[in-house]
Amino acid sequence: MRLALGVEYDGSGFSGWQRLSAAGSREPDGSLQTALEAALSRVADARIDTICAGRTDAGVHGQCQVVHFDSDVVRDARGWVLGTTANLPPTMAVRWCVPVAGDFSARFSARARRYRYRILNRSTRPGLQRQYLGWERMPLDAQAMHAAAQALVGERDFSAFRSVQCQATHARRDLQEISVHRRGAEVVVEVQANAFLHHMVRNIVGSLLVVGRGERPPAWIAELLERRDRTVAGPTAPAAGLLFLGPRYPRGCGLPDEVSL
């Protein structure tokens, strides 16, 4: 049977999603994947390997990461959810579990992925929720940032916004939506694309902050896109402010509405 899980996590203190140890090892390695697979394996009393929708970096959080795995072990959905969560670190939890078709893939069946980046925009750094926020002391023009960001919409070459460690075979991605809006003392960036490059969202946010501070005009983002040169774009925004909202799948996959298109 193939099962899909929705997993939430606080990425603080983890090395990122991807397993760092050899496949099959259940030795703690600081990754979210290894922690999840160890918990699932305890519930199944058998080795469980998982595939996720999108690998997140160290310090990045997840609201609804979707994973799938195969198992011959018979457990009801409640058993998988409660049993796995009981064996996870306190900063991880399984939200739901559903059976899916044998050809479903958490990674390849996804049609989009969505992220949110929160920036506390005030003169003093955060004391509360500091692990979930970026911070900018200079006043930000959220409207200018939003206008600048619209140049990124569409299928584009995002070489200017990929890290030097990115292992993707090419830099073209279809960025479907991006918005920037102010919510009280916070400026919030939300972005959806078919897939993302390594550090792509954080690099986009870092460049939008340059525009928001008035150091560059909104048209600068389009110029960066055309130049395809990471060295002239803005800095990488800190991981803490980034939340993986989750992937999106075609309706009919049997998944909850929150991850359906």
40 or 19, which is more confident: 40
Nearest to 54 by CA among 156, 236, 198: 198
Cβ atoms within 10 Å of 84's Cβ, excluding its own: 26
**Mean pLDDT within 194-220:** 98
Q: Is 10 a catalytic residue?
A: no
What is the torsion angle, in degrees rounded to the nearest 10, for the CA atoms of residue 34, residue 11, residue 2 and residue 258?
Answer: 180
Measured at the CA of 79, the angle between CA 78 and CA 84, to 5 degrees, comes to 110
Q: What is the pTM of this model?
A: 0.95
Using DSSP's 3-state secondary structure scheme, residue 62 falls into strand
Q: Pick the catalytic residue: 45, 57, 141, 229?
A: 57
Per-residue pLDDT of 71-129, as tens digits, reads: 999 999 999 999 999 999 999 999 999 999 999 999 999 999 999 999 999 999 999 99
User: pLDDT tier at 25 (50, 70, 90 boundaries)?
Assistant: low
Q: What are the chain's domains?
A: 2-109 (3.30.70.580), 112-244 (3.30.70.660)
Beta strands in the chain (DSSP E): 2-9, 51-52, 61-70, 92-100, 112-121, 134-136, 154-157, 172-183, 186-193, 242-248
